[in-house]
């Protein structure tokens, strides 16, 4: 499998999960501005949506959208602890978490990255995001991980939370969330994924 990624973006979460599962993969860096890839292609030929992450399978299929990629990867290793089995109630619960992270944290962060949006408007998006962080802080006060033990949703939540300092949002204002972020950050898979991404050459 080939994972098309850009450093410090949401593609970090499938990268972490590939390492957690011990699956063989190749990392291919994408320049998110020029859309050139480290293997010399126009990224839009691989993912016409033009954004990472994109996972290219051995049979040539291309899978996009973080929550789909994360679940696909977990399903490649039956019985692993990163995602409950398909068709179970717990799998539905996982999908609830993934959708929340995707729409309420990942999607809700997009306006904060946008330099054309004035601070007064950004304040509205920040306030909404703070409500979501309150919810997560409450949830994680009683449990170490979203599903109890570390799983694909944690790889995704950790990844999107790494962006908050960019917006001058300090996780220490949500102590359970800050402790959670530290817990995930010290995992071998996370440390090695970050190191591997940092070691790639800019495209």
Ligand X SMILES: N[C@@H](CCC(=O)N[C@@H](CS)C(=O)NCC(=O)O)C(=O)O
Q: Tell me which stretch binds ligand X (CB under 6 A): 51-59, 86-94, 119-127, 167-175.
A: 51-59
Instruction: Return the number of the residue (88 or 114) whose C-beta is nearest ligand X.
Output: 114
Assess 9 for contact with ligand X (CB under 6 A): yes
Assess 32 for contact with ligand X (CB under 6 A): yes
CA 197 to chain centre: 14
Instruction: State the nearest-atom distance from the C-beta of 124 to ligand X, in Å.
Output: 20
> Rounded CA gap, 172 and 149, in Å?
23
Q: Tell me which stretch binds ligand X (CB under 6 A): 37-45, 50-58, 83-91, 125-133.
A: 50-58
> Rounded CA gap, 78 and 108, in Å?
33
Instruction: Return the number of the residue (6 or 136) whose C-beta is nearest ligand X.
Output: 6
Assess 72 for contact with ligand X (CB under 6 A): no
Closest Cα partner for 108 from 32, 169, 185?
169
Instruction: Return the number of the residue (68 or 123) whose C-beta is nearest ligand X.
Output: 68
Query: Edge-to-edge strand order for the sheet containing 2-5?
Result: 26-29, 2-5, 54-56, 62-64
Sole binder of ligand X in the list 4, 5, 43, 51 (CB under 6 A): 51
Instruction: State the nearest-atom distance from the C-beta of 116 to ligand X, in Å.
Output: 15
Assess 66 for contact with ligand X (CB under 6 A): yes
Assess 52 for contact with ligand X (CB under 6 A): yes
> Rounded CA gap, 16 and 8, in Å?
12
First to last CA, the chain: 20
> Rounded CA gap, 76 and 73, in Å?
5
How distant, in Å, are the alpha carbons of 37, 85, 149 from that of 88?
38, 6, 17
Tokens 């696909």 correspond to 72
- Could you say which residues in the range 164-193 bind ligand X, by CB under 6 A? none
Q: Tell me which stretch binds ligand X (CB under 6 A): 6-14, 20-28, 73-81, 135-143.
A: 6-14
Q: Residue with CB nearest ligand X?
A: 51
> Rounded CA gap, 121 and 129, in Å?
13
**Binding stretches for ligand X (CB under 6 A):** 6, 9-10, 32, 50-53, 65-66, 102
């Amino acid at each position: 499998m080939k994972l098309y990624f850009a450093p410090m973006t949401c593609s970090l979460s499938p990268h972490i999960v590939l390492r957690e599962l011990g699956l063989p993969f190749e990392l291919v860096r994408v320049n998110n501005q020029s859309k050139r890839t480290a293997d010399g292609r126009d990224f839009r030929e691989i993912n016409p949506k033009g954004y990472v992450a994109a996972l290219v399978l051995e049979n040539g299929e291309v899978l996009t959208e973080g929550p789909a990629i994360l679940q696909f990867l977990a399903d490649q290793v039956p019985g692993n602890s990163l995602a409950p089995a398909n068709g179970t109630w717990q799998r539905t619960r996982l999908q609830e978490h993934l959708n929340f992270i995707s729409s309420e944290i990942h999607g809700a962060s997009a306006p904060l990255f946008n330099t054309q949006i004035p601070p007064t408007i950004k304040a509205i998006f920040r306030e909404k995001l703070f409500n979501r962080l309150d919810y997560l802080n409450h949830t994680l006060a009683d449990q170490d991980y979203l599903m109890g033990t570390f799983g694909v949703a944690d790889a995704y939540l950790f990844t999107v939370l790494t962006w908050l300092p960019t917006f001058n949002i300090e996780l220490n204002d949500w102590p359970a969330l800050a402790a959670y972020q530290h817990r995930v950050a010290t995992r071998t898979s996370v440390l090695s994924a970050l190191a591997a991404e940092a070691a790639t050459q800019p495209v």
